[in-house]
């Protein structure tokens, strides 16, 4: 035993040690946690959706910005969660704790929530000021993505990436079933035929999906011309469309952001869509889905247990990481039902209203939409770049799929493609949707479950006063 350990500890030394410990703890507690400003330096805190490990990797995106702005540091704080819903909850808790970030990564799911609560700062004035600098960016980005980031006429984020709900195919299961990847104009009847053929393979599920708002049975709902809420547009945004999208047919009819109105969750088209999923499950063409983020689904898909699944560009990276080769899977549009309308979600970064470094944050946001930055943000095809020019064969050569053009063509060639419904009460909507979907799948009664969902949404909409 060392002499130090063998010495009897006196009461005084314990007291002194304890006092020192408490003093240190007190000092630690008083130290500023979020904004180092000593010596004129500035720190931008970014709330990032992901693990700290992923956040640290993504932080590379700030290297060029930091180099160009001596004395500035950018801190990416990883906030992990099962889905965007979970992420928002944690960000809101961080805000409640009096530690709001300067910048937050927000997807379509949260744009209106943050904007309606005046948490996010509109970018309009910044954009108008730096219009020349941003012209190449907007020229390269589909207006549907931009419009999805607007609320009541203001733009809150510059999209960096997006994902539309396309259909993925396990090519080896297709081959075993004597099939090929369907044509772009395939229909819901074709889909059922493909599923029936795949079903003949033992120990496989022809089609699987996850209970959630994005890319769930909601994809069928869009293809059937339905939605959970009435669709409308806020006025405004003309300055943006005339400035950056003048003459672009894809910008026609664009306004000041999507206005999600009265709930229509038990309308005929929506009920029919969920009924289809019940029918598929009952006939063995589909599994009864889990609630969640979809990583389990990717694991099963990569192990040749699933023939088809709804996925976006991010599935390419996910399946590659799960061990699938570039030719082991492929992608096509979601099948046409009444229409071939797709849903999508888009991601980007917004500035917090409470940020004391808004100008600096804006400079950083601009740097994030540079191709080199988006390249880092979408590394490994973990998601789809918002810039059309970045969609290249080289990008998808290591991961697949062969038919990668489908990702951006979903926006370019299917003009009725729209964002997921994400009103300011998105969290309540997502929870209610999950609950009512599992209820329908279990009971087999879609109408009854959707009547419940309708009531849930009406309550949620009323509670937020939107």
Chain contacts with other proteins (rule: CB under 8 A): 11, 15, 18, 85-86, 89, 92-93, 95-96, 117, 119, 205, 211, 287-288, 290-292, 300, 305, 427-428, 431, 434-436, 438-439, 441-443, 449, 460, 463
| Beta-bridge partners for 48 | 78
The distance of closest approach from Cβ of residue 431 to other proteins in the complex, given in angstroms and rounded to an integer, is 6
Is the Cβ–Cβ distance between 209 and 310 less than 8 Å? yes
Torsion of CA 317, 319, 320, 322, to 10 degrees: 120
The distance of closest approach from Cβ of residue 335 to other proteins in the complex, given in angstroms and rounded to an integer, is 22
The distance of closest approach from Cβ of residue 408 to other proteins in the complex, given in angstroms and rounded to an integer, is 33
Handedness of CA 277, 278, 280, 286 (dihedral sign): positive
| 4 versus 97: smaller Cβ distance to other proteins | 97
The distance of closest approach from Cβ of residue 88 to other proteins in the complex, given in angstroms and rounded to an integer, is 8
| 17 versus 398: smaller Cβ distance to other proteins | 17
Is the Cβ–Cβ distance between 333 and 166 less than 8 Å? yes
211: buried, middle or exposed (CB in 10 Å: 19+, 13-18, 0-12)?
Answer: buried
Longest dimension (CA), the chain: 85
| 230 versus 282: smaller Cβ distance to other proteins | 282
| 400 versus 421: smaller Cβ distance to other proteins | 421
The distance of closest approach from Cβ of residue 218 to other proteins in the complex, given in angstroms and rounded to an integer, is 17
CA distance 298 to 300: 5
The distance of closest approach from Cβ of residue 116 to other proteins in the complex, given in angstroms and rounded to an integer, is 10
Which SS3 state, helix, strand or coil, does residue 186 take?
coil
Taking alpha carbons only, the member of 451, 431, 430, 455 closest to residue 266 is: 451
CA distance 440 to 133: 50
Q: How far is CA 59 from CA 175, 220, 240, 361, 405, in A?
A: 42, 37, 30, 15, 29
CA distance 291 to 279: 19
CA distance 318 to 324: 9
| 14 versus 397: smaller Cβ distance to other proteins | 14
The distance of closest approach from Cβ of residue 373 to other proteins in the complex, given in angstroms and rounded to an integer, is 30
The distance of closest approach from Cβ of residue 438 to other proteins in the complex, given in angstroms and rounded to an integer, is 3
Task: Name the one residue in this structure whose structure tokens are 């740097």.
Answer: 367
| 37 versus 442: smaller Cβ distance to other proteins | 442
| 38 versus 96: smaller Cβ distance to other proteins | 96
The distance of closest approach from Cβ of residue 208 to other proteins in the complex, given in angstroms and rounded to an integer, is 8
Give the count of beta carbons closer than 10 Å to the beta carbon of residue 21: 10
The distance of closest approach from Cβ of residue 205 to other proteins in the complex, given in angstroms and rounded to an integer, is 6
CA distance 393 to 390: 9
| 217 versus 404: smaller Cβ distance to other proteins | 217
Task: Name the one residue in this structure whose structure tokens are 């029936």.
Answer: 196
First to last CA, the chain: 70
Buried b (16+ CB within 10 A) or exposed e, 58-97: bbebbeebbeebeebebbbbbbebebbbbbbeebbebbee
The distance of closest approach from Cβ of residue 29 to other proteins in the complex, given in angstroms and rounded to an integer, is 11
CA distance 460 to 173: 43
| 131 versus 288: smaller Cβ distance to other proteins | 288
Listed in sequence order, the DSSP H helices in 383-445 are 393-396, 406-412, 426-443
| 15 versus 397: smaller Cβ distance to other proteins | 15
| Beta-bridge partners for 306 | 205
> Which pair of structure tokens corresponds to residue 440?
């329908």
The distance of closest approach from Cβ of residue 196 to other proteins in the complex, given in angstroms and rounded to an integer, is 17
| 145 versus 428: smaller Cβ distance to other proteins | 428
Q: How far is CA 251 from CA 26, 132, 209, in A?
A: 56, 19, 32
| 64 versus 464: smaller Cβ distance to other proteins | 464
Task: Name the one residue in this structure whose structure tokens are 């209610």.
Answer: 432
């Amino acid at each position: 035993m060392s002499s130090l350990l063998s010495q009897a500890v006196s009461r005084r030394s314990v007291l002194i040690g304890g006092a020192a410990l408490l003093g240190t703890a007190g000092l630690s507690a008083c130290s500023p946690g979020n904004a180092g400003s000593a010596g004129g330096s500035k720190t931008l805190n970014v709330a990032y959706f992901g693990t700290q490990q992923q956040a640290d990797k993504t932080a590379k995106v700030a290297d060029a910005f930091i180099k160009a702005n001596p004395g500035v540091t950018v801190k990416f704080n990883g906030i992990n969660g099962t889905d965007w819903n979970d992420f928002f909850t944690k960000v809101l808790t961080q805000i409640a704790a009096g530690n709001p970030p300067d910048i937050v990564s927000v997807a379509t799911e949260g744009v209106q929530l943050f904007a309606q609560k005046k948490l996010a700062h509109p970018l309009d004035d910044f954009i108008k000021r730096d219009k020349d600098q941003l012209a190449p960016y907007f020229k390269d980005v589909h207006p549907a993505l931009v419009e999805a980031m607007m609320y009541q006429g203001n733009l809150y984020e510059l999209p960096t990436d997006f994902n539309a709900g396309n259909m993925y195919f396990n090519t080896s299961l297709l081959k075993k079933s004597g099939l090929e990847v369907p044509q772009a104009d395939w229909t819901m009847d074709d889909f059922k035929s493909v599923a029936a053929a795949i079903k003949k393979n033992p120990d496989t599920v022809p089609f699987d999906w996850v209970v959630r708002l994005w890319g769930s049975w909601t994809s069928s709902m869009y293809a059937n011309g339905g939605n959970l809420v009435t669709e409308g547009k806020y006025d405004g945004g003309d300055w943006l469309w005339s400035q950056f999208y003048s003459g672009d047919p894809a910008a026609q009819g664009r306004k000041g952001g999507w206005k999600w109105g009265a709930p229509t969750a038990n309308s005929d088209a929506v009920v029919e869509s969920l009924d289809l999923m019940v029918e598929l499950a009952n006939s063995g063409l589909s599994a009864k889905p889990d609630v969640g983020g979809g990583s389990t689904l990717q694991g099963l898909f990569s192990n040749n247990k699933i023939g088809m699944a709804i996925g976006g560009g991010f599935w390419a990276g996910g399946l590659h990481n799960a061990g699938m080769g570039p030719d082991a899977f492929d992608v096509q549009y979601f099948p046409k039902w009444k229409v071939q309308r797709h849903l999508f979600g888009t991601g980007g970064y917004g500035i917090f209203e409470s940020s004391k470094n808004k100008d600096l944050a804006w400079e950083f946001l601009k740097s994030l939409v540079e191709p080199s930055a988006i390249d880092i943000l979408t590394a490994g095809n973990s998601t789809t770049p918002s810039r059309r020019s970045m969609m290249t064969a080289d990008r998808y050569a290591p991961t697949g799929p062969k038919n990668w053009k489908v990702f951006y063509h979903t926006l370019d060639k299917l003009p009725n493609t729209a964002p997921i419904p994400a009103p300011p009460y998105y969290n309540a909507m997502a929870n209610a949707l999950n609950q009512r979907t599992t209820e329908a799948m279990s009971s087999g009664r879609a109408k009854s479950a959707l009547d419940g969902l309708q009531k849930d949404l009406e309550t949620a909409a009323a509670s937020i006063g939107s």
